[in-house]
Copies of this chain bind each other. A is one copy, B any other.
Amino acid sequence: MPRYAFKIEYDGRPFCGWQAQSGQPSVQEAIEGALARLESDLPRIAAAGRTDTGVHATGQVAHCDMAREWDPFRLMEAVNYHLRPNPVSVLACARVEESFHARFSAVERRYRFELMARRAPPTFEQGRVWHIRHPLTLAPMQAAARHLIGKHDFTTFRASQCQAASPVKTLDAIEITMHDIPHGQEFHFILRARSFLHNQVRSIVGTLERVGAGAWTPEDLRHALEARDRAACGPVCPPDGLYLTGVGYPNDPFSG
Contacts and interface: CB of A to CB of B under 8 A. Distances in A.
A92 B181 CA distance: 13
A121 interface: yes
A131 to B, nearest CB: 10
Contact of A90 (B80, B88, B120): B120
A119 B77 contact: yes
Nearest to A81: B121
A185 interface: no
Contact of A182 (B59, B120, B124): B59
Interface in A8-23: 9-11
Contact of A89 (B56, B83, B87, B123): B123
* Number of identical monomers bound together in the oligomeric complex: 2
A223 interface: no
State which size class the interface on A falls in: 20 to 34
A92 B9 contact: no
A170 to B, nearest CB: 26
B11 A89 contact: no
Interface string A166-207: 000000000000000011000000000000000000000000
Contacts of A92: 183
10 contacts: A9-B120, A9-B123, A9-B124, A11-B124, A80-B120, A85-B126, A89-B120, A90-B120, A91-B118, A124-B128
Question: Which 3 residue pairs across A and B have the least CB separation, nearest first?
Answer: A89-B120, A87-B123, A91-B183
Given A11-B123, A89-B121, 13 more contacts: A9-B123, A10-B123, A56-B124, A58-B182, A59-B182, A80-B121, A84-B121, A85-B126, A87-B124, A89-B120, A89-B123, A91-B118, A91-B183
